């Protein structure tokens, strides 16, 4: 949130913000992004909403699996909590 407004956590304007202020800002940022998407034609909106790399444009499905992901450990932890 603070990055969006170019504020440091140590600045008075940031320190004075309440949880409600942060929630209000987050909600309005979400609404603003929805308004921006509504301005696009259907084809451009679908492209903007697609899950792509912001640098090269590769689709997320083309990225493959995370090589650092340990499925066996994940399954063990999942079994313990559920």
| DSSP secondary structure, 26-82, as one string | HHHHHHHHHHHHHTS-HHHHHHHHS-B-TTT--BGGGS---TT--HHHHHHHHHHH-
Q: Using only C-alpha atoms, what is the Rg of the chain? A: 19
The reported pLDDT for the residue numbered 23 is 94
55 phi/psi in degrees, rounded to 5: -95, -55
Helix H or strand E segment including 12: helix 12-15
The reported pLDDT for the residue numbered 20 is 95
pLDDT single digits (tens) 14-65? 899 999 999 999 999 999 999 999 999 999 999 888 888 878 888 877 777 7
pTM value is 0.54
Asked if residues 8 and 2 have their Cβ atoms less than 8 Å apart, the reply is yes
């Amino acid at each position: 949130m603070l990055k969006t407004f170019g504020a440091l956590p140590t600045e008075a304007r940031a320190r004075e913000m309440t949880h409600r202020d942060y929630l209000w800002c987050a909600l309005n940022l979400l609404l603003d992004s929805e308004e921006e998407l509504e301005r696009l034609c259907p084809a451009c909106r679908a492209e903007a909403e697609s899950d792509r790399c912001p640098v090269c444009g590769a689709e997320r499905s083309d990225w493959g699996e995370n090589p650092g992901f340990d499925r066996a450990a994940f399954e063990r932890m999942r079994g313990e909590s559920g």
